[in-house]
Structure 1
Amino acid sequence: MRCLVTGATGYIGGRLAPRLAEAGHVVRCLSRSAGRLRDVPWADRVEIVEGDLVDPTTLRPAFDGVEVAYFLMHSLGQRDFERRDREAAENFAAAARAAGVRRIVYLGGPEPPPGERSSPHLRSRAEVARILLDSGVPTAVLRAPVIIGSGSASFEMLRYLTERLPVMVVPRWVGNRIQPIAVRDVLRYLIDAAGLPADVHRAFDLGGPDVLTYAEMMHRYARVAGLPRRVVLPTRVLSPWLSAHWVGLVTPVPNAIARPLVASLIHEAVAHEDDIAALLPGDPPIGFREAVRLALGRIRDANVETRWSSAAGMDAAAEPLPSDPDWSGGSMYADERTRAVHAPPDRLWRVIEGVGGENGWYSFPLAWSVRGWLDRLAGGVGLRRGRRDRHRLRVGEALDWWRVEEIVPGSLLRLRAEMRVPGRAWLEMRSEPAPGGGSVYHQRAVFLPRGLAGHLYWAAVLPFHGFIFDGMARNIARGAET
């Protein structure tokens, strides 16, 4: 089928488009600026057209020949998001009807219990659902609660609050029940919804197998992430407005997004029916722990690189995309150094491959020795392991307190730290040819903190990085030149 995806630069749309293509559909993505999708890994597998849902005159080419149209646009974070989403939905519905689209699929939010005052965020989602259901085009509205996956604003709030606060004074809404669902399962339902029979025209509740309070979600996240149990102290003092500012203070999630999300948490978000399972049979949704484990996979698989895999597998959907906002994906600290080297790349590589053991680390030996003694006092391996061979390294072998994780001969050495630190650390060294001769040395130290202790650790060692890592880069370059 020919599918149109709106919101392809967003969290769900950017994950749905390549998976629709992988499923055999012809995919067209609508964006106000085609350049925003130019560099995504799947750009060559979709058609990209420019248009703006709030400007109906731009929509006809996008809907031409489309059989299934996905409405995934949401203006959350903008001051007038309710008005913009209303206009976008009305224009989308009119364009779909005029083009003879066979099905509309919309990912909305949970409905508050009857009689409760809705938050602006959920009120807008419900209004968009009504507009699309009244479009005259068969429509499937999928109502999802908290979506678990790296890059999801709701998940990022949960991640940062849990990781950064071992003791939390929290508002009473942490006792409300939520039925979270993994992003991989949301995407599966969205893809399969394209094939629903024409007489299916309604809303469906989505949810995973676990019904948890927000506090329980924080405790379970902490266990999966290897953090000590969090102390949660509910209070009635924090209003939704104050809660949003509190979230903005503790996490990098912007206040403009945190405010409507926090306001929505005053409602319970539990599925009232599971009719979608009968219409779209498949593997049942995975549980909260497995969803979190997948969302943390980019951190826990010891992969320093932050580039998203171009594979369209559902498990990869839980990991970060280059198009995700810069506040998503968890905390990562890095120290990067680059130096021009007046020596060929192969000579620079010999110095890189010779680090550690008797050869040393080319920078402030006393500081490295003291750090090794401290690590041994803490029960770590220290610097006593040395290296197996003075000149050659192999993947998997020990190198002082490091483990050789990857080698690309002549180009890349990546080491994973096995010292006692509250987080995970890597050191990456590269040798590259320089234009016009010589070479370039790239050095990158990466630290992924675990809990508040990890952030404090990085802050404590940061003052020493200037002379340790800069000296290391300078001396490796000098060693290659002599």
Structure 2
Amino acid sequence: MTRCLVTGATGYIGGRLVPELLKAGHEVRCMARSAPHLRDQTWRDRVEVAEADATDPVATRAALSGVEAAYYLIHTMGSGRDFAARDRRAARTFAAAAKEAGVRRIVYLGGLTPGDRPERMSAHMRSRAEVEHILLASGVPVVALRASVIIGSGSVSFEMLRHLTERLPAMTTPKWVATRTQPIAIRDVLRYLVGALDVPPEVSRGFDIGGPDVLTYADMMRGYAAVAGLPPRLIIPVPLLTTRLSSLWVGLVTPVPAGVARPLVESLREEAVCHEHDIARYIPDPPGGLMGFPQAVRMALHRIKEAGVATRWSSASTPGAPSDPLPTDPGWAGGSLYADERSARVDAPPEALWRVIEGIGGEHGWYSLPVAWEARGLLDRFAGGVGLRRGRRDPRRLRVGDALDFWRVEEIEPGRLLRLRAEMRLPGFAWLELSCREEEGRTVYGQRAIFHPRGLLGHLYWWGVYPLHGLIFGSMARNVARAAAAEPRAGTAA
């Protein structure tokens, strides 16, 4: 067991590393500039938290006190003219504090660079390489891992790839789409980070890490489309697009902010392929080998295609794998997600509302515009789907797995929540959540329709039917509330 300090625990890597360290039996202290930023992490009550800015030598020294190993996962994303100076100052302060505190190992995650020629690196990658050199000169043994594109839901690089591929079936692209890179699955990055604690103390150096596939960015877009079940993408490189125009283009087409996209685009200009695999001497490859690009993408997308995905969006569970999204990821991470949310106060006890919720569909219908629901069912049947003809197994009771018209019961918490997954033909994945709760002594009905679009057609579909939502979902919420109010009360005749 090692007592570890993790910086950057509010970020993508740090937020996933902490539970892996805890799972391996290590003690963890998280260093954050603001402790409240960690309050939503599921592991918050299992770690210590030290408030410190890495540029503050006194606070950083206190955070490192009693720590055996420290993870340095701090980077500015190239914002502002002085980002490199801020990175340099933070690294020097942290390195000196670690040496003074008697830390026995620093683990750093940097970027995979195009060899030893700094003139070929972007400013962003030069800064990461400089941070590595500062830490290696600290006198504390360092394992510096250098990675290129990290594949996992929430990774900025992966989210940019996801949104570009899903939203553009055909695209003119900058010349950097032809640059070779060596992506790596988040699962393997975390395995290396945790395994670095067991590297012999006399080893202090950098290591290139990457998956088994060397691909261009265009290859990755095509590979993503194949795994996601999208039509082949038409990619036409246009060499005239500058880095600034490319980042603005990415910011326009995707929800990834242009200020975040720009350093990534700059780093993609130069090849990022591993020059060695020496890390395997100390952290052997897993029995099945490192995860390839298609499998890594499949892992990053699997919760969208399986029942468990909706639980993340309803905050009902925690991710089960490093590649899963986290509630603390940026709002643009995890793919596009549309939702129509409504609620209504109900003049009835919760049990009356629940009877209406559990009895929905089949002969009872959907409490709004029956003609519209019938038309949607007919369209689904014409498209080869199941339509509304399946009805329901029992007129009053539901259980997980039951067919319900063109829905399937994915989750049911008696008296509280019913979650249905759409099985109609759609250019995406859809859920409908109906809930019952009490607020200030009143019964409240909650309703949420969730849609995860698949490709450009999915986005067009959502916005095409959006004008109907007020009619269908609005009247549904009102009519469910009225039906519950009309339900017989306990102790009265039906």
TM-score range, shorter chain: over 0.9
1:457 pairs with 2:467? no
**Structure 2 counterpart of 1:166:** 169
**Structure 1 counterpart of 2:282:** 279
Q: 1:336-377: CA deviations, max 9, x gaps?
A: 111111111111111111111221110011111111122122
1:42 pairs with 2:47? no
**SS of match in other structure, 2:251:** helix
1:209 pairs with 2:212? yes
**SS of match in other structure, 2:71:** strand
C-alpha change, 1:401 and 1:309, in structure 2 (3 Å) is closer
Residue pair 2:114, 2:273 contacting (<8 A) in 1 also? no
**Structure 2 counterpart of 1:476:** 480
**Structure 2 counterpart of 1:294:** 299
1:225 pairs with 2:231? no
Residue pair 2:113, 2:125 contacting (<8 A) in 1 also? yes
> How far apart in 1 are the matches of 2:28 and 2:192?
17
**SS of match in other structure, 1:12:** helix
**Structure 2 counterpart of 1:466:** 470
Aligned length: 478
Within 5 A, what are the aligned runs for 1:343-354?
Answer: 343-354=348-359
Once the 2 structures are TM-superposed, how far is the Cα of residue 88 of structure 1 from its aligned partner?
Answer: 0.5
For structure 1, the 5+ residue unaligned runs are none
Amino acid at match of 1:196: V
**Structure 2 counterpart of 1:95:** 97
> How far apart in 2 are the matches of 1:187 and 1:435?
45
Once the 2 structures are TM-superposed, how far is the Cα of residue 308 of structure 1 from its aligned partner?
Answer: 8.2
> How far apart in 2 are the matches of 1:118 and 1:52?
28
**Structure 2 counterpart of 1:399:** 404
Once the 2 structures are TM-superposed, how far is the Cα of residue 77 of structure 1 from its aligned partner?
Answer: 5.0
Amino acid at match of 1:104: I
> How far apart in 2 are the matches of 1:182 and 1:250?
25
**Structure 2 counterpart of 1:268:** 271
> How far apart in 2 are the matches of 1:65 and 1:407?
47
**Structure 2 counterpart of 1:73:** 74
Q: 1:126-154: CA deviations, max 9, x gaps?
A: 00001001111111110001000111110
> How far apart in 1 are the matches of 2:233 and 2:452?
19
> How far apart in 1 are the matches of 2:78 and 2:426?
37
> How far apart in 1 are the matches of 2:414 and 2:18?
37
- For structure 1, which segment, 68-77 or 468-477, has the greater mean C-alpha deviation from structure 2 after superposition? 68-77
**Structure 1 counterpart of 2:491:** none
> How far apart in 2 are the matches of 1:47 and 1:274?
35
> How far apart in 1 are the matches of 2:334 and 2:211?
22
**Structure 2 counterpart of 1:54:** 55
Once the 2 structures are TM-superposed, how far is the Cα of residue 194 of structure 1 from its aligned partner?
Answer: 1.2
Once the 2 structures are TM-superposed, how far is the Cα of residue 435 of structure 1 from its aligned partner?
Answer: 2.9
Residue pair 2:164, 2:254 contacting (<8 A) in 1 also? yes
**SS of match in other structure, 2:379:** helix
C-alpha change, 1:77 and 1:374, in structure 2 (3 Å) is farther
Once the 2 structures are TM-superposed, how far is the Cα of residue 310 of structure 1 from its aligned partner?
Answer: 4.5
> How far apart in 2 are the matches of 1:280 and 1:114?
24
> How far apart in 2 are the matches of 1:7 and 1:423?
34
**Structure 2 counterpart of 1:180:** 183
> How far apart in 1 are the matches of 2:110 and 2:38?
23
**Structure 2 counterpart of 1:430:** 435
**Structure 1 counterpart of 2:311:** 305
1:2 pairs with 2:3? yes
**Structure 2 counterpart of 1:191:** 194
> How far apart in 2 are the matches of 1:388 and 1:103?
60
> How far apart in 2 are the matches of 1:45 and 1:308?
20
Q: 1:202-255: CA deviations, max 9, x gaps?
A: 100000011111111111111111111111111111122211111111111111
> How far apart in 2 are the matches of 1:237 and 1:399?
54
> How far apart in 2 are the matches of 1:450 and 1:289?
18
- For structure 1, which segment, 151-160 or 383-392, has the greater mean C-alpha deviation from structure 2 after superposition? 383-392
Residue pair 2:78, 2:84 contacting (<8 A) in 1 also? no
Residue pair 2:76, 2:87 contacting (<8 A) in 1 also? yes
> How far apart in 1 are the matches of 2:213 and 2:437?
49
Of 332, 341, 348, the residue aligned with 2:346 is 341
Amino acid at match of 2:111: G
**Structure 2 counterpart of 1:133:** 136
> How far apart in 2 are the matches of 1:309 and 1:71?
29
Q: 1:177-207: CA deviations, max 9, x gaps?
A: 1110001110110111012111101100000
Residue pair 1:308, 1:320 contacting (<8 A) in 2 also? no
Residue pair 1:138, 1:198 contacting (<8 A) in 2 also? yes
**Structure 1 counterpart of 2:492:** none
For structure 2, the 5+ residue unaligned runs are 487-494
> How far apart in 2 are the matches of 1:205 and 1:308?
38
C-alpha change, 1:271 and 1:87, in structure 2 (3 Å) is same
Amino acid at match of 1:146: V
TM-score normalized by structure 2?
0.94
**Structure 1 counterpart of 2:159:** 156
Once the 2 structures are TM-superposed, how far is the Cα of residue 321 of structure 1 from its aligned partner?
Answer: 1.2
Once the 2 structures are TM-superposed, how far is the Cα of residue 394 of structure 1 from its aligned partner?
Answer: 2.6
**Structure 1 counterpart of 2:86:** 84
- For structure 1, which segment, 106-115 or 468-477, has the greater mean C-alpha deviation from structure 2 after superposition? 106-115
Residue pair 2:40, 2:328 contacting (<8 A) in 1 also? no
Amino acid at match of 2:481: A
Q: Which runs of at least 4 in structure 1 moved beyond 6 Å after TM superposition? A: none
Amino acid at match of 1:43: R
Residue pair 1:308, 1:319 contacting (<8 A) in 2 also? no
**Structure 2 counterpart of 1:254:** 257
**Structure 1 counterpart of 2:446:** 442
Once the 2 structures are TM-superposed, how far is the Cα of residue 410 of structure 1 from its aligned partner?
Answer: 1.9
Identity rate of aligned residues, in percent?
64
1:235 pairs with 2:235? no
**Structure 2 counterpart of 1:374:** 379
TM-score normalized by structure 1?
0.97
Amino acid at match of 2:242: S
Q: 1:141-170: CA deviations, max 9, x gaps?
A: 100010001111100000000000000101
Amino acid at match of 1:258: A
Amino acid at match of 1:93: A
Residue pair 1:32, 1:52 contacting (<8 A) in 2 also? yes
Residue pair 1:308, 1:321 contacting (<8 A) in 2 also? no
**Structure 2 counterpart of 1:361:** 366
> How far apart in 1 are the matches of 2:107 and 2:75?
14
Q: 1:1-35: CA deviations, max 9, x gaps?
A: 11111111111111111211221111111011111
1:319 pairs with 2:324? yes
